[in-house]
Amino acid sequence: MQRLALLGMLALTGVITGHSPADRWAINATAIEACSCPHFCICYFNAHPAAHHEHGQAEHYCKFNNAYKVNHGHYGDVSLDNAKFWITGDLGGDFSQGQMNWALVTFDKDTTNDQRKALGEILGYVFPVKWKSFQTAEGNIDTWTFDKDTAHATLNGGTTAEIKLKRFQGMSDEPAVLKNVRYWGTPRNDGFVMMPNEIETYRVGDQKFEFKGTNGFMLTFDMNSNDVPAKDAGSMGQ
């Protein structure tokens, strides 16, 4: 199946064909993440999301908001340090064949075109799946903060999207962390810090949604071009 590049809307298409110095890359990024599934999201252990009962019928979906900040990274000589991006979407009811429903990637307005292009290529490895509908946009990720007890991210002041998390109370006041679970296509992460959401919402258009008290967590993942054989290179798309 043809795989369209992440930045198709920006007229960028194609795949990475090798790891020359120009396309060697690395990324270490932290996610503030929430979705409609009960805590903890069963999508990490199953090929379908949790069932939601609406209008007398059970419907499976995972409607999510993921707000990312790159701690450090690069694509060739393009620095990705502190770049922010936001992914909103729905995994759909059955993703056993790697086919998800829809996604919208919003790049923070302060990212450059080169950073967006680089992130588009890298995210094809982080999320090695296909989407029925895929779009990109630009916005203002004006809040992205966390401590050991809470996390908060807003897109366009919260008028477009918002995530607010609160730490799950474990046996002590330290965060509860789920270890040894893979995060999408990445080979390394520091564990899922359990933080159910107080709200996770997307507030615009005909796909808007809002959930309270459902799944949420924080996680830092790490990946680089040496983790992916050149023959497997690709892009997040459909």
pLDDT tens string 190-221: 999 999 999 999 999 999 999 999 999 999 99
**β-pairing verdict for 130-139 and 99-108:** parallel
* pLDDT, average across residues 173-184: 95
Q: What are phi and psi of 60, to 5 degrees?
A: -95, 125
Q: What is the pLDDT of residues 95-123, one digit of tens each?
A: 889 999 999 999 999 999 999 999 999 99
Alpha-carbon span 221 to 4, nearest angstrom = 24
Decide which of 22 and 212 is more confident.
Answer: 212
Contacts of 152 (CB under 8 A, 6+ apart): 32, 143, 144, 145, 146, 162, 163, 164, 165
For the entire predicted model, the pTM comes to 0.88
